[in-house]
A = this chain, B = another copy of it.
Amino acid sequence: MDKKNYCVIMAGGVGSRFWPMSRAGRPKQFLDILGTGKTLLEITFDRFRTIIPAENILVVTNRDYGELVREQLPDLPDSNILLEPSRRNTAPCIAYASYKIKERNRDARMVVAPSDHLILNEDKFLNVVQDGLKFVGEEESLLTIGIQPSRPETGYGYIQANGSGKAGSKYKNLKKVKTFTEKPDPDLARVFFESGEFFWNAGIFFWSVKSILKAFQHHLPEMYAVFSEGAGKYDTNAEIEFIDSAYADCKNISIDYGVMEKAENVCVITSEFGWSDLGTWGSLHDQMKKDKQDNVLNGKEILTYDVKGCLVNSPGKKLMVLQGLEEFIVVDTEDVLLICRMQDEQKIRNIVNDVRIRKGDTYI
């Protein structure tokens, strides 16, 4: 394995749409949401570990979740857990990790990925990662993964690629990026889908440490300055205190908005390896193996009678007997049962807010 290759796993999300399984104290990435016996973070770590040594994998998370990361990834060196004192979106998270890696290896190349996505074809994905890391080792480019859309999805941002492949490139499916777009409305999503030029933005990035720091310097100079101050402090006892003050000075901004949409040297590597951001219970239903009645049943003790198109999550020992439900989400946890129409799953956020107002933080 190439010692210059690093991986940054972003694990600071809250995932409130997966309530009540996902809770403030244990968000989605720390849960076995797929019912495989492993949490999403564990799956993500194991996946990268096949091509990147554990000592080169960094996990960035909120300080509240440090212990959870330590528990779930016992093979990850303690010094590779980066604890954020507050939530500042992806740009500060990536700046922090990039500086920390720079102190270890100035020639490092990085892949940055969320901790809570679903990837079905791991081999295909890892081939893309290896191509990506190789490419950004050779060219001063910011590279992102674009997923070949399988439907006119309105829940994802899109990347528009230049029609032709990167001229003269030895890499398959590598193109210059024309634009990044926000989540489209249904009509626009259909246009995107049919054009063949648009790809889902998976939020997975590749770059060399040099390239990304140069990009920060150019597009987010204040943030660049803040984290530059830390030189010599990363991986020392002074790191925590420095990060506290750095985050206090940082603005809340995503890497997409702060860097990728502004930079000129942005490329996309397109693929289709069975990907979902697992943003909602419905997306989990879309991706997982269904029974003959189009149900996804996660749990050992679930009996269904005349039940269709449902997602049922019941990790405990309780016997669940369901009759007559069509297109519902049923999630049973130790202290909360949620039943919600699949088509109304966007309302779960509002429901969680209402629960907080009426019942306090107990169930959040």
Name the distance in Å between A191's Cβ and chain B's nearest Cβ.
32
Q: Is A335 an interface residue (CB 8 A)?
A: yes
- When C-beta atoms are compared, the residue in chain B nearest to A340 turns out to be B323
Contact with B along A306-327 (1 / 0, CB 8 A): 1000000010011111111100
Copies of this chain, count: 2
Q: A120 in the interface, Cβ–Cβ < 8 Å? A: no
Q: Does A332 contact B (CB under 8 A)?
A: yes
With A319-B363, A355-B303 in contact, do A328 and B337 touch (Cβ < 8 Å)? no
- A321 near B339 with CB under 8 A, answer yes
Number of interface residues of A (CB under 8 A): 34
Given contacts A324-B328, A340-B324, A344-B323, A335 and B351 within 8 Å (CB-CB): no
> Does A338 count as interface, using CB distance less than 8 angstroms?
yes
> Please, which residues of chain B bring their CB within 8 A of the CB of A336?
318-321
A334: which B residues are within 8 A, CB to CB?
318
27 contacts between A and B (CB under 8 A): A20-B319, A20-B321, A303-B354, A303-B358, A305-B351, A306-B344, A314-B337, A317-B335, A318-B334, A318-B335, A318-B336, A319-B335, A319-B363, A320-B336, A321-B338, A321-B340, A321-B351, A321-B355, A323-B340, A323-B347, A324-B328, A324-B339, A324-B340, A324-B344, A325-B328, A330-B339, A332-B337
